[in-house]
Amino acid sequence: MIRAQILTVFSIIQLAIPNQPVLVVDLFKLQQLSRLKSLLQSSVLKIGHHLKFDWQFLTQAGLQPQSPFFDTQLAFKVWTAGIPLKSSLQAVVKKLLGITLNKTLQQSDFSQDQ
């Protein structure tokens, strides 16, 4: 049941673990979510942009993520002290790093076999 619920919302999740390669996990092909659930419930620091949004869906899917976590969007809003600036990941990266993120695959349907 968890698998069916999560796949209606998420298709991929990216994980970066110290001293390991960055992983992009295809949730449509993942056979069991128990290892992902264990990671999300561990004491490992979880860092993401607009985590409140993702946390809601992960919680609804039964994965119950736990702290500690660091939300880069919230940090940007605090850092800019309420100045009305866009706070999307693309806007924050452009503002702070001067890099334009390629978001062309953002709306891709990764559920289809290639």
| pLDDT digit string, tens, across residues 21-40 | 888 887 777 778 888 899 89
pLDDT tens-digit map of 82-95? 788 999 999 999 99
Q: Do 20 and 14 touch, CB atoms closer than 8 A?
A: no
**pTM score of the predicted model:** 0.74
Percent of the chain past pLDDT 70, that is, above it, reads 82
Looking only at the bridges linking them, the beta strands covering 12-15 and 23-26 are: antiparallel
CA atoms 83, 86, 92, 96: torsion sign: negative
Give the pLDDT score at 9. 56
Q: In this predicted model, which residue has the larger pLDDT, 44 or 111?
A: 44
Contacts of 82 (CB under 8 A, 6+ apart): none
